């Protein structure tokens, strides 16, 4: 075949069209222009497609087959180049998007969204810190208690009228009325006396349960902190001094405390203690007194040798007063707008 044969002429035309198309593909700057280029190349008037139409001009079947094969190869090569460049752009665009949408998580470490302890947990930890600073140790006891620890060992036998002051939640377990959710933290006093030896300087924070209707100052599940001191020669003056030292450390030095005569079966004498705010308001915090000799005996301690004092107050109410929250229920609705303030 001479250089000027129709087949050669077609081949050269195919080469030119192919190279032109490949150059355009390489020159495309983004996937949108590549897509337009793909459409343009498939138009009837575009190089290779137009050449296909000219094949009819070839005279022999052998020529048609040879040129047809050449044209197919060129078309395949262009399609592959288009596909490769399309993938290249898609990869680049994905990378760019990932880069743009990157979230800087280190921000979370510095913003308020980090989360923190609940207002009542904070109060409990602060109470523990203050009392540990005064030389107390922290003790724990179970939330499900027996009648013995919650009442009987605390000088409240079955018929005792003051049992009715604790609206008790009983569990269906064992003898009816024998198992309950502790109504206060005082049962832990007995557990501590039975397992530790005097001198005892203990605080016992925890959850207590009563059939109380929720209102601004009551919850059916609430928190108390109990304190117990048993040592030789402990007097009421030690109790008053401890309450005063605690009040100043927990609130601030502008606060003072006072004790008012009261009654608890497990202490004798007993008192309520109030704190006075710098504004002059008196706020009732809890009960206290000298541990009743019967209670020392329940705990296995000789009342002739040792004496002690105990106190117990509501942590939720203290947190409420410290942060001037109007209603104790606010602390348990889990509204983050409220909780984030503390
Ligand atoms: C007692 O529970 C005694 N065990 C305290 C005590 C211990 C006295 C040691 C003497 C010696 P009382 O029932 O008053 O006492 O409760 C003490 C405090 O718990 C209350 O002053 C109050 O702050 C808190 N409290 C009681 N019931 C609730 C409740 N339903 N919701 C929130 N706080 C409560």
Please write the tens of the pLDDT for every residue from 92-115.
Answer: 889 998 988 888 777 667 666 678
Looking at the fold, whether 35 and 182 belong to one and the same domain comes out as no
Looking at the fold, whether 38 and 124 belong to one and the same domain comes out as no
pTM: 0.69
Looking at the fold, whether 72 and 186 belong to one and the same domain comes out as no
The reported pLDDT for the residue numbered 236 is 97
Residue ranges making up the domain that contains 191: 119-339
Looking at the fold, whether 258 and 316 belong to one and the same domain comes out as yes
Q: Which residue has the tokens 């947190």?
A: 319
The reported pLDDT for the residue numbered 277 is 84
What percent of the chain stands above pLDDT 70?
Answer: 97
The pLDDT of 266-293, averaged and rounded, is: 93
> Which residues have any ligand 1 atom within 6 Å of their CB?
184, 186, 210, 212, 218-219, 222, 224, 226, 264, 267, 286-289, 310-314, 316-317
Dist CA 80 CA 26 (whole Å): 12
**Which phi and psi (to 5°) does residue 329 adopt?**
-65, -25
Of residues 249, 239, 209, 218, the one with CA closest to residue 128: 249
Tokens at 309, concatenated: 């004092």
Burial class (CB in 10 A: 0-12, 13-18, 19+), 160: middle
Dist CA 186 CA 235 (whole Å): 20
Looking at the fold, whether 69 and 196 belong to one and the same domain comes out as no
Write out the H or E segment, with its range, that includes residue 284: strand 282-291
Q: Which residue has the tokens 């006891």?
A: 141
The reported pLDDT for the residue numbered 1 is 46
CA dihedral 39, 45, 49, 50 (to 10 degrees): -170
The reported pLDDT for the residue numbered 43 is 79
The reported pLDDT for the residue numbered 111 is 62
Which pLDDT band, with edges at 50, 70 and 90, does 59 fall under?
Answer: confident
The reported pLDDT for the residue numbered 3 is 59
Looking at the fold, whether 126 and 234 belong to one and the same domain comes out as yes
| CA–centroid distance, residue 224 to ligand 1 (Å) | 7
| CA–centroid distance, residue 171 to ligand 1 (Å) | 21
Choose between 104 and 136: higher pLDDT: 136
Residue 107 within any structural domain of the chain: no
pLDDT winner (highest mean) among 36-40, 67-71, 222-226 = 222-226
Q: What is the CA radius of gyration of the chain?
A: 43
| CA–centroid distance, residue 185 to ligand 1 (Å) | 9
> Does residue 268 contact residue 290 with C-beta atoms inside 8 Å?
yes
Q: How many domains does the chain have?
A: 2
Looking at the fold, whether 232 and 187 belong to one and the same domain comes out as yes
> Does residue 309 contact residue 239 with C-beta atoms inside 8 Å?
yes
Looking at the fold, whether 235 and 321 belong to one and the same domain comes out as yes
> Does residue 135 contact residue 246 with C-beta atoms inside 8 Å?
no
The reported pLDDT for the residue numbered 224 is 97
Looking at the fold, whether 134 and 170 belong to one and the same domain comes out as yes
What atom in ligand 1 is closest to the CA of residue 286?
21
Q: Which protein residue has the closest C-alpha to ligand 1 atom 29?
A: 218
pLDDT winner (highest mean) among 53-67, 94-108, 120-134 = 120-134
What atom in ligand 1 is closest to the CA of residue 284?
21
Residue 108 within any structural domain of the chain: no
Please write the tens of the pLDDT for every residue from 180-233.
Answer: 999 999 999 999 999 999 999 999 999 999 999 999 999 999 999 999 999 999
What percent of the chain stands above pLDDT 90?
Answer: 53
- CATH number, domain of 132, equals 3.30.930.10
Looking at the fold, whether 150 and 256 belong to one and the same domain comes out as yes
Please count the other Cβ atoms lying within 10 Å of the Cβ belonging to residue 177: 12
Ligand 1 pocket test, pick from 312, 320, 329 with the greatest ligand atom count within 8 Å of Cβ, gives 312
The reported pLDDT for the residue numbered 293 is 98
Q: Which residue has the tokens 């942060």?
A: 323
Dist CA 144 CA 147 (whole Å): 10
Among the three residues 70, 100, 130, which one is the final residue of a domain in this structure?
100
Tokens at 137, concatenated: 């140790």
| CA–centroid distance, residue 289 to ligand 1 (Å) | 13
The reported pLDDT for the residue numbered 258 is 94
| CA–centroid distance, residue 210 to ligand 1 (Å) | 10
| CA–centroid distance, residue 302 to ligand 1 (Å) | 27
The reported pLDDT for the residue numbered 144 is 98
| CA–centroid distance, residue 306 to ligand 1 (Å) | 26
Looking at the fold, whether 31 and 125 belong to one and the same domain comes out as no
Residue 114 within any structural domain of the chain: no
Which pLDDT band, with edges at 50, 70 and 90, does 122 fall under?
Answer: very high
Which pLDDT band, with edges at 50, 70 and 90, does 330 fall under?
Answer: very high
Half-sphere exposure of 52 (CA within 13 A, CB side): 16
The reported pLDDT for the residue numbered 53 is 80
Task: Give the total residue count for the chain.
Answer: 342
What atom in ligand 1 is closest to the CA of residue 210?
30
Among the three residues 100, 132, 162, which one is the final residue of a domain in this structure?
100
């Amino acid at each position: 075949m001479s250089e000027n044969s129709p087949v050669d002429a077609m081949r050269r035309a195919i080469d030119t069209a192919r190279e032109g198309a490949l150059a355009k593909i390489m020159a495309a700057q983004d996937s949108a222009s590549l897509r337009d280029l793909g459409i343009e190349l498939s138009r009837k008037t575009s190089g290779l497609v137009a050449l296909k139409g000219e094949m009819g001009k070839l005279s022999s079947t052998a020529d048609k087959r040879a040129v047809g094969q050449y044209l197919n190869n060129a078309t395949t090569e262009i399609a592959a180049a288009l596909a490769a460049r399309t993938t290249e752009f898609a990869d680049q665009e994905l990378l760019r998007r990932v880069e743009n949408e990157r979230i800087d998580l280190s921000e979370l470490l510095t913003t308020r969204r980090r989360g923190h302890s609940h207002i009542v947990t904070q109060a409990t930890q602060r109470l523990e810190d203050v009392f540990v600073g005064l030389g107390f140790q922290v003790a724990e006891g179970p939330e499900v208690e027996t009648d013995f620890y919650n009442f009987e060992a605390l000088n409240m036998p079955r018929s005792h009228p003051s049992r009715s002051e604790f609206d008790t939640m009983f569990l269906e377990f064992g003898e009816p009325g024998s198992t309950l959710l502790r109504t206060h933290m005082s049962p832990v006093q007995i557990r501590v006396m039975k397992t530790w030896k005097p001198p005892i300087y203990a605080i016992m924070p925890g959850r207590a349960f009563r059939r109380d209707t929720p209102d601004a100052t009551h919850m059916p599940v609430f928190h108390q902190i109990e304190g117990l001191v048993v040592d030789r020669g402990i007097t009421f003056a030690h109790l008053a001094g401890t309450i005063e030292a605690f009040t100043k450390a927990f609130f601030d030095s502008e606060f003072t405390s006072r004790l008012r005569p009261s009654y608890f079966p497990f202490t004798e004498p007993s008192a309520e203690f109030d704190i006075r705010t710098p504004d002059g308001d008196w706020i009732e915090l809890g009960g206290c007194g000298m541990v009743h000799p019967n209670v020392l005996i329940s705990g296995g301690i000789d009342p002739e040798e040792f004496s002690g004092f105990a106190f117990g107050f509501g942590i939720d109410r203290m947190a409420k007063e410290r942060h001037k929250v109007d209603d104790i229920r606010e602390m348990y609705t889990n509204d983050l707008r409220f909780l984030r303030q503390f």
